[in-house]
Chain A
């Protein structure tokens, strides 16, 4: 029963994950798991110092835990389900040494929780490092999703001759776009480590490390359902040995309530059928305190504050608005963005073109795994606004397509010394061809028609940068200059105020020398130096004789 619910929850998590992509229907909250996570909620609300609408969903889980107990870990948590499943796969038959320092280790998760919460109070978003849902979403995004695509495509390739023979046209041409990500390996290593720890003791992560588990365990003893052992108990200690959470102490009739996740493994294994989980309202009396030393508490608070201050007071912080980092459209101002983003990777998964990539050290410790636009790799498509839709803390605001179009992420800059047209007089025009906003026009300069960027029409989508045929670095790059980062309010209005216009407008592409706005006096000055071929360049659009 429990396994079934776990499997269903993992399936739901995975399904929502798959749906988190272009054409995500507005009514479907694909990020729901991340929204109901109170640790991520507290982290974002504390760090950003304001109430975040979507984080309020976590009140559901808090309420449910208050009412029922710490059931989340055993039944709902997809990370727990993955751990249980992989545990079954790898370590089922292994004899595990067990740990002597259990009591002390058990406190680690509380210390971590305190570190994360105090770090959040200093404005550093850190819980993402160990929040199980952010962790699993990252693993899915950076490892499982690309791997799945590879496997699917390989399978398709393998079966292609068969599809062809059967005349299944669509299948024989099917190929899924292969998303690729930075930091896949490190994400996998972290998760692999979590699984490997199970070799020592089942659910090592959940028992000792998980800060979300720690948070839930603080309130779970108030819940309705509690483990009860009746007098049939013959103290065989079977339950104590099998409890995956180590929630049963030396006296098998007692229960460490904060640790109990109500998986009922003990009830099933008990030969005397002496264990039940009845509903009982019991205020106060049975609230078993978390054993927590004062010294440990102080250390963790100091640790959290220390990490917080260190990570927020670095050269990166001072350079914050001067990075060469292009953030996704709708990302709130950088300081708030770093505080609010929980690094789940959902935006990067959902990104239609695969331009969103995780940062490593580009903005320091406080910017790990935050999304950036890697425009040389892929552009941002003007018909897609899914990254904001799936952001559980709205560090990337959910915007309508029109608003998103106006959420300028930067401006394209032409590097003339590298441009094939400016530097080599080649017939290249790819940037102009691909620009969805006509922000790149060809204008006659010194007798030649040269590409020029009109900054007020460029919203930084990066089609030009990605498509530029120059090898290595692009001859046209999007820099964050001119980006619009709004915490609230309309991007359309802001763009209008700044006299920007990203609407289709053919007006500027008329190829009239007089209208070009360029003074071509240099042409006269340098006339001697110009070769005859150059001089005879007609005043005609490219391609016409």
Chain B
């Protein structure tokens, strides 16, 4: 079992590994070093093509996924909504990333969520199961039972001491977060960081017993996706997280290693509830940033913008 969730070492290790040993093994540096310094890849286009291009811009999925590894993808498929509602991740984004993982040699790709609505219906209505059904080695599952979760400690937790997390996340070396850009009536927006709540067992405490924004930052100290790909092909700018609400079409895919940077950029692309906000104005993002979990000021980021 990997212990990556315990600290920050994983990312450093990955960077070293990616640019060093493994790159050598896979046939030399096929992409420039300049590209590796890209903080965010922001690609406009249709969901599949933009996702593909965003992965390339970050240096290819093989930077994150190694041969024979188990990968967990965490899209938002928590609601029985079809894609046009903007409440769930676009199925083609999920399928494209899953396909890329397979191409990079992943042995197994699990697409997981702990849904709010009835699981079978979520799998059916979001279109994610359908989109992945021809990819062998990819399994779209919802884990709705406590036995699939395991309690871990949150050493740096301010309001949460421990949390029950999906075992698969703890046991897999790679977690890729695939949130959708949407509004949220308690946390302002729901993107990558808020999406982590789909990986835990008991989210009701977040609402009823603790300060949710602090709790989200706590969660982000222990669950650290290697990569976050924000699906902003549609953005549910009001009525979130479940919709129905106003759906805008930014047609963007925003990908990056820094989860706060991705979310923060996502905040800036459209007005939420009719008002323009910066990442700093989203409480849970600001808290997470202040606790050293990522960059929040997008002006300081190296953003690679492309068209697919």
Chain A 493-519 per-residue mask, 1 if CB under 8 angstroms from chain B, else 0 = 000000000011110011110000000
Minimal Cβ-Cβ distance residue in B for A354: B118
Minimal Cβ-Cβ distance residue in B for A178: B145
> Which residues on the A side are within 8 Å of B125 (C-beta)?
383
Chain B 114-128 per-residue mask, 1 if CB under 8 angstroms from chain A, else 0 = 001111110001000
In contact, B120 and A22 (Cβ under 8 angstroms): yes
- Asked, given contacts A169-B139, A175-B144, A427-B211, whether A434 binds B242 with beta carbons under 8 Å apart, the answer is yes
> Which residues on the A side are within 8 Å of B274 (C-beta)?
510-512
Minimal Cβ-Cβ distance residue in B for A504: B244
In contact, A545 and B120 (Cβ under 8 angstroms): no
In contact, B243 and A173 (Cβ under 8 angstroms): no
In contact, B241 and A433 (Cβ under 8 angstroms): yes
Chain B 280-306 per-residue mask, 1 if CB under 8 angstroms from chain A, else 0 = 111110100000000000000000000
> Which residues on the A side are within 8 Å of B118 (C-beta)?
177, 352-353, 381
Q: How far is B238's CA from A469's CA once the two chains are assembled, in angstroms? A: 23
In contact, B242 and A428 (Cβ under 8 angstroms): no
In contact, B272 and A544 (Cβ under 8 angstroms): yes
Among B145, B212, B244, which residue has the most Cβ atoms of chain A within 10 A? B244
Q: Which of B148, B186, B189, B242 contacts A427 (CB 8 A)?
A: B186
Among A170, A383, A427, A429, which residue has the most Cβ atoms of chain B within 10 A? A427
In contact, A544 and B207 (Cβ under 8 angstroms): no
In contact, B245 and A509 (Cβ under 8 angstroms): yes
In contact, A352 and B277 (Cβ under 8 angstroms): no
Q: How far is B188's CA from A173's CA once the two chains are assembled, in angstroms? A: 33
Q: Which of A175, A382, A432 contacts B185 (CB 8 A)?
A: A432
What's the minimum C-beta distance from B301 to chain A, rounded to whole angstroms?
20
> Which residues on the A side are within 8 Å of B242 (C-beta)?
433-436
Among A157, A382, A420, A509, which residue has the most Cβ atoms of chain B within 10 A? A509
What's the minimum C-beta distance from A429 to chain B, rounded to whole angstroms?
4
Q: How far is B86's CA from A504's CA once the two chains are assembled, in angstroms? A: 12
In contact, A430 and B282 (Cβ under 8 angstroms): no
In contact, B283 and A173 (Cβ under 8 angstroms): no
Q: How far is B287's CA from A545's CA once the two chains are assembled, in angstroms? A: 11
What's the minimum C-beta distance from A166 to chain B, rounded to whole angstroms?
13
> Which residues on the B side are within 8 Å of A426 (C-beta)?
207-208
Chain A 295-339 per-residue mask, 1 if CB under 8 angstroms from chain B, else 0 = 000000000000000000000000000000000000000000000
A249 near B: Cβ within 8 Å? no
Q: Which of A45-53, A82-90, A226-234, A535-543 contacts B (4 or more CB under 8 A)?
A: A535-543
B273 near A: Cβ within 8 Å? yes
Chain B 138-149 per-residue mask, 1 if CB under 8 angstroms from chain A, else 0 = 010101110110
> Which residues on the B side are within 8 Å of A437 (C-beta)?
244
In contact, B204 and A170 (Cβ under 8 angstroms): no
In contact, B283 and A545 (Cβ under 8 angstroms): yes
B275 near A: Cβ within 8 Å? yes
> Which residues on the A side are within 8 Å of B246 (C-beta)?
506
Q: How far is B277's CA from A426's CA once the two chains are assembled, in angstroms? A: 23
In contact, A505 and B148 (Cβ under 8 angstroms): no
In contact, B272 and A541 (Cβ under 8 angstroms): yes
Chain A 174-186 per-residue mask, 1 if CB under 8 angstroms from chain B, else 0 = 0101000000000
Minimal Cβ-Cβ distance residue in A for B211: A427
A470 near B: Cβ within 8 Å? yes
In contact, B273 and A438 (Cβ under 8 angstroms): no
What's the minimum C-beta distance from A304 to chain B, rounded to whole angstroms?
43
In contact, A541 and B185 (Cβ under 8 angstroms): yes
Q: How far is B274's CA from A427's CA once the two chains are assembled, in angstroms? A: 21
In contact, A506 and B272 (Cβ under 8 angstroms): no
B224 near A: Cβ within 8 Å? no
Minimal Cβ-Cβ distance residue in A for B208: A469
In contact, A442 and B185 (Cβ under 8 angstroms): yes
Q: How far is B82's CA from A67's CA once the two chains are assembled, in angstroms? A: 53
What's the minimum C-beta distance from A383 to chain B, rounded to whole angstroms?
5
Q: How far is B238's CA from A544's CA once the two chains are assembled, in angstroms? A: 13
Minimal Cβ-Cβ distance residue in B for A384: B121
Q: Which of A427, A503, A511 contacts B273 (CB 8 A)?
A: A511
In contact, B283 and A438 (Cβ under 8 angstroms): no
> Which residues on the A side are within 8 Å of B188 (C-beta)?
541-544
In contact, B207 and A469 (Cβ under 8 angstroms): yes
In contact, B110 and A428 (Cβ under 8 angstroms): no
B80 near A: Cβ within 8 Å? yes
What's the minimum C-beta distance from A348 to chain B, rounded to whole angstroms?
16
| Size class of the contact patch on chain B | 35 or more
In contact, B273 and A510 (Cβ under 8 angstroms): yes
In contact, B121 and A381 (Cβ under 8 angstroms): yes
- Asked, given contacts A170-B141, A509-B245, whether A157 binds B207 with beta carbons under 8 Å apart, the answer is no
> Which residues on the B side are within 8 Å of A470 (C-beta)?
208
In contact, A543 and B145 (Cβ under 8 angstroms): no
> Which residues on the B side are within 8 Å of A433 (C-beta)?
116, 184-186, 241-242
Among A353, A442, A544, A545, which residue has the most Cβ atoms of chain B within 10 A? A544
> Which residues on the A side are within 8 Å of B186 (C-beta)?
427-429, 433, 542-543
> Which residues on the A side are within 8 Å of B185 (C-beta)?
429, 432-433, 442, 509, 541-543
Q: How far is B148's CA from A540's CA once the two chains are assembled, in angstroms? A: 38
In contact, A173 and B141 (Cβ under 8 angstroms): yes
> Which residues on the B side are within 8 Å of A381 (C-beta)?
80, 117-118, 121
- Asked, given contacts A435-B242, A438-B244, whether A545 binds B208 with beta carbons under 8 Å apart, the answer is no
- Asked, given contacts A173-B143, A427-B212, whether A545 binds B280 with beta carbons under 8 Å apart, the answer is yes
In contact, B207 and A545 (Cβ under 8 angstroms): no
> Which residues on the A side are within 8 Å of B277 (C-beta)?
544
Among B184, B208, B281, B283, which residue has the most Cβ atoms of chain A within 10 A? B208
Of residues 5 to 60 in B, which have CB atoms within 8 Å of A's CB atoms?
none
What's the minimum C-beta distance from B197 to chain A, rounded to whole angstroms?
11
Q: How far is B110's CA from A434's CA once the two chains are assembled, in angstroms? A: 26
> Which residues on the A side are within 8 Å of B284 (C-beta)?
543
> Which residues on the B side are within 8 Å of A173 (C-beta)?
139, 141, 143, 148
In contact, A504 and B243 (Cβ under 8 angstroms): yes
- Asked, given contacts A169-B110, A435-B242, A506-B238, whether A545 binds B204 with beta carbons under 8 Å apart, the answer is no
Chain A 416-450 per-residue mask, 1 if CB under 8 angstroms from chain B, else 0 = 00001000001111101111111000100000000
Minimal Cβ-Cβ distance residue in B for A430: B207
> Which residues on the B side are within 8 Å of A469 (C-beta)?
204, 207-208
Offer 30 A-B interface pairs, CB within 8 angstroms, sorted by A: A169-B110, A170-B141, A177-B118, A352-B118, A352-B120, A381-B80, A381-B121, A383-B125, A384-B121, A420-B208, A426-B207, A427-B186, A427-B207, A427-B213, A428-B208, A429-B186, A433-B242, A435-B242, A470-B208, A504-B243, A506-B244, A509-B245, A510-B274, A511-B238, A512-B274, A540-B275, A541-B185, A543-B284, A544-B282, A545-B283
Q: Told that A177-B144, A506-B245, A545-B281 touch, could you supply 7 new A-B pairs with CB distance under 8 A?
A: A381-B121, A426-B207, A433-B241, A433-B242, A504-B85, A541-B272, A543-B283
The 9 closest A-B pairs by CB, nearest first: A504-B244, A543-B188, A469-B208, A429-B186, A506-B245, A543-B187, A544-B188, A469-B204, A506-B246
Query: Measuring CB to CB, which residues of chain A are less than 8 angstroms from any residue of chain B?
Result: 22, 157, 167, 169-170, 173, 175, 177, 352-353, 381-384, 420, 426-430, 432-438, 442, 467, 469-470, 503-506, 509-512, 540-545
Query: Measuring CB to CB, which residues of chain B are less than 8 angstroms from any residue of chain A?
Result: 80, 85, 108, 110, 116-121, 125, 139, 141, 143-145, 147-148, 183-189, 204, 207-208, 211-213, 238-239, 241-246, 272-275, 277, 280-284, 286
